[in-house]
Amino acid sequence: MADHSTGQDLTMSTQNPSVFGIMGNVGKDAALAAVESTMQYLIRREIPFLVEEEVLRRIDTDLSRRGELWRDGSRDDVAREADVVMTFGGDGTLLAVVQHTLRYDTPVLGVNLGKLGFLADVGVEEVLWAIEEIMQGNHSIEHRLTLSGTMTDYPEEFFALNDIVLAKSGSAKVISIDAFVDGAFLASFHADGIIISTPTGSTAYSLATGGPVVVPSSDAIVISPISAHTLTARPVIVSGDSRISVCARAEEGGVMVMSDGNVLVQGKEAIDAEISRSHQSVALIKQLGPNYFETLRRKLVWAQDGRNRSETPTPDRA
């Protein structure tokens, strides 16, 4: 697997995919409907594909050419064998899927169901067009920085595209946090928790706690306290090569750890975690949806002065 872990790599597609992969949010009828129509289109176009078995079980339609042109499999099967994976749902669905595609460096296209996401930025009405663009190589692949983490009493290394969070759980009022960067003491504070975020994740939980917006191409990691009980505890941006150590303690209740919103452990009295850049990256298909700053304006509702112009200014007319 290629190592694109330094910041964000932008590469143009050099070959057309031969097999598409389809995964989706089985809890959303709109996702299942979009998957079904996409499968029918791929069959008509005679484009081979794999579909997530759990998604297929929720689709009550007998589609032709099963076993000949397409088949189903687990998420890991689809991630391993497809050349491109399409996710139907939203940013949360894509975050779950990349836990499988990460190890294979399989490019992912995020399809939203009407609500624009920072990751799932292609609308469901654009899927068929996007397939044709991908088939013709009219897209780029961004390799996004990811985090890896280890912690006490947890047997496996874990990964995150957005963020790793240590936070209070149960009846805990606050937890005590000591943070270190490359072995150097950063700060101690009482808070609801701490977020270690990638540039991609800077517009997620970190942003809600007052963290900065960091463009995805930045080679950086963001450390953001959650509701710290001091006005002087502020978000800090450190080098993407930094190794961050966090010691979290709860006098009552417990501490939990989340990776991209997935709870790994909870109710622990104390947790020591080591977090750094992963040698693996997530490959995202881009240049098919809005550009990053357009998505940023729309998601954050950044105002524009529309008194004298009705469209977004270009650099030479700003």
83 & 154 share domain: no
The answer to whether position 103 is within a domain reads yes
pLDDT (0 to 100) of residue 196: 98
The answer to whether position 306 is within a domain reads no
27 & 90 share domain: yes
pLDDT (0 to 100) of residue 316: 55
Tokens describing residue 141: 């692949």
The whole-model pTM stands at 0.88
162 & 268 share domain: yes
pLDDT (0 to 100) of residue 301: 83
29 & 60 share domain: yes
- How many domains does the chain fold into? 2
Q: Which of 91, 121, 163, 260 is catalytic?
A: 91
Render pLDDT for 34-83 as a digit per residue (tens, 0 to 9): 999 999 999 999 999 999 999 999 997 788 888 899 999 999 999 999 99
117 & 192 share domain: no
The domain that holds 74 is classified in CATH as 3.40.50.10330
Block means of pLDDT (10 residues each) for the chain, 318 residues, are 53 69 96 96 96 93 88 97 97 96 96 89 93 92 97 92 95 91 97 97 95 96 95 94 97 93 94 97 86 86 61 54
Active site residue 91: yes
The domain that holds 271 is classified in CATH as 2.60.200.30
180 & 106 share domain: no
pLDDT (0 to 100) of residue 2: 45
270 & 165 share domain: yes
Domain that holds residue 117: 17-136+288-300
pLDDT (0 to 100) of residue 54: 95
131 & 206 share domain: no
121 & 220 share domain: no
177 & 118 share domain: no
